[in-house]
Amino acid sequence: MAVWSCLSPACCREDGEKEQRKQRRPYEPPPKTKRATGRDDQKKGNKRGSFSRVAVLDPSSSSSSTTLSEDLSVSLAGTNLWAFTLKELKVATQSFSSCSFLGEGGFGPVHKGFVDDRLRPGLKAQPVAVKLLDLDGEQGHREWLAEVTFLGHLRHPHLVKLIGYCCEEEHRLLVYEYMPRGSLDNQLFSRFSVPLPWGTRMKIALGAAKGLAFLHEAKKPVIYRDFKASNILLDSDYTAKLSDFGLAKDGPEGDETHASTQIMGTKGYVAPEYIMTGHLTTMSDVYSFGVVLLELLTGRMCMDKSRPQREQNLAEWAGRMLKNPRKVSRIMDPRLEGQYSEKGAQKVAELAFKCLSNRPKQRPMMHAVVETLEPLLEYNDVFVGPFVYIVPADDLHKDPKNEGKQEELKKRSSHNRSRIHSHDHHHQYYHENRHHRHHSQP
């Protein structure tokens, strides 16, 4: 008999889940599909699951992948998600060829592809990113299912758009809109990337803040739980969109003050009270947002073992200087070369300081963060230094337009040499006459 449950805490992997994935146990058909609700859980005296929008099969139960796919189709009805076949996604990505490979994360490899109505009638022609679940990777079926259910039901300009999914035998794939600028992580920390201008950084911070605010203030609040630079994707005009909802969890409702769950997240971004107690609230996301603000200010990663011991944890090192306007300039990203708004930087530093407070109740709500960031886009006190370009002499010789300038340079050079020669001749004559007069005197 199948065991049914809500998507359980934290999409956290239980002990032995990796082994279960390796064994690839089939799913067993459920007796009846039922929409799970927090109220039902409370009646039974159970803790509410992390996602109450759709009931899902427990990975330890057994059922056919066909049945799971059918259940998903019913649960996701009205979400406009496409249920792709593995064959279709192979066509879209040229059989997941190396030339379409974009990168790899904890979920698995990501390939670029293209879909249109030739693949499926009515499908919009567009580039896509196809993410494959690595069966032996860091994440599993729970995370995949959380991604499908959250992004299937949530739509916002600052959340990455999920186009469809594939659930075929043991294969689990997700199809997203393609984000040409990649992640903030790559744009901010890659050696080969062009430094992000101050205005672009503020645009990214505001977009990400709007995405978080939407999740926190949804009809059923969502705690993102894995807010970090690598999960912020950028489109062609640097509009920020949140991706990777594998660790997302329903927020507390009613009289509840927090959600209790196994601690999950990325070191350096996780709120201290969550680490100590396992109590998860929207303020946990606000702390993580404060860390990303620091990364945008400093151009440093939240954890960097290559730096001196006292500077390895960004929040601990920079946090002490955020309240002092004079010290803010010391932590600013040197790649900005001073071209940023001083007033804006101080405002961002103050905001980061509040977000990183050790007292969760003193941190601002995300809608207040958005209100603080919006005016910063209008600050125009950005210093832009002079740019001087010196034309190489060789280029000056080659360009026929510069022949007149070259002749003028020659005349000036000749004139200067004649003046120097005249001066030297006069200097020599003066000394010779002086020497002669000195020896002719009695």
Catalytic residues: 226
Q: Where are the alpha helices (DSSP H) in 35-192?
A: 38-44, 65-75, 86-92, 141-153, 184-189
Assign 222 to helix, strand or coil. Answer: strand
| Measured distance CA(241)–CA(34) in Å, rounded | 32
| Measured distance CA(73)–CA(13) in Å, rounded | 25
Q: Where are the alpha helices (DSSP H) in 169-307?
A: 184-189, 198-216, 272-277, 282-298
Asked if 166 and 307 count as a contact pair (C-beta separation under 8 A), the reply is no
Assign 334 to helix, strand or coil. Answer: helix
Nearest to 167 by CA among 33, 244, 76: 76
The amino acid present at 81, given as its one-letter code, is L
Q: How far is CA 141 from the centre of its chain?
A: 23
Half-sphere exposure (CA, 13 Å, Cβ side) for 402? 12
Asked if 384 and 339 count as a contact pair (C-beta separation under 8 A), the reply is yes
| Measured distance CA(309)–CA(290) in Å, rounded | 21
DSSP 61: S
